[in-house]
Structure 1
């Protein structure tokens, strides 16, 4: 269901990104995409389209479905890839990218050349092990560029298991709904990042490198 909703939202993206754009191979340019007026029109039209998704989908010809879904999936994969690369291009370079928990996510930032990641679980899930004394895991020179973890070796920092109670971690280690929903809400994402930065400043009184904080969501 979540996958279908994501796909339907992207239908609007492909159709109204540039007014009058048709869904064909090798059409359109990148120049108009960043035009502020076009983007504002796009977001307003997208909201209208989301409200009328069922009616719009019914008007599609069956023959168009395969090509449309291919374009939408490619767009989604590209966005995910770009976001993932941004989270990888941070110091220290010697640290591997940690495994993002399924049914959860990771908030990561860099302080004093050490990478800190805060495991988080979606609503309805909890950590397998108690984390009340482990707000974060870290990787840097002091750890020989190996992630600290409650699991044996590797870069798995946490596992989120289905649970009716969220008691194993800090209150701030749980998403109000799902990690993916936070990515859809920039204000909420900013608030969570701000909370993590404040927590880290209290625990590790060092400078946070600018532009190194990012949120990664599991499947």
Structure 2
């Protein structure tokens, strides 16, 4: 999928099936329930008059995660305003041609462009992005996340293990035909972090949690970081 000359038909099939794969393995429903829904409820009753929670999704791929989050929130009587960004023209074309709730918008750009404009969001998140990044790009995305998030940053990724590799290899076979789900998925597992490895490369203030089988979260309490920075004069990084 990272190859700009890859088969466009197979790529679209991959994007189209991301939703099924993420429902099965990514654990976003639990992340929504435990981390995002409480903040959305706070926004609904906030004395400042805010009734919605703003979210930035970095690297939206097929666009299924922001759409799922918006639908779960709506079913709970809550409102999320979700901006999803991806610099890949192919991902942008696919996502903007699929049905999406009106409170989900897709934009073709990177996180640094939003930082440069001074944009802020209550929550910054990503799915399956960190393992694609080299050390420089990882530092950039994490630094941008800290600058963009008012409340929370949560990057959800694969936790590398032999069991994850074997389980995915077997489980993905029925739905992988004609797509890159098998090849790229197995490659992603090989490139992903263990929890200990991820903890070693995260900046100060970030923490690692395991939130679902074979999953690892990089989390930043942006409120706590800002309070600490204001209190002691140290930079948030």
Q: Relative to total residues, which structure has the larger strand share, 1 or 2?
A: 2
- Structure scoring higher RCO (CA < 8 A, sep ≥ 6) equals 1
Tell which structure's C-alpha radius of gyration is larger.
1
> Please, what TM-score do these two structures have when normalized by structure 1?
0.27
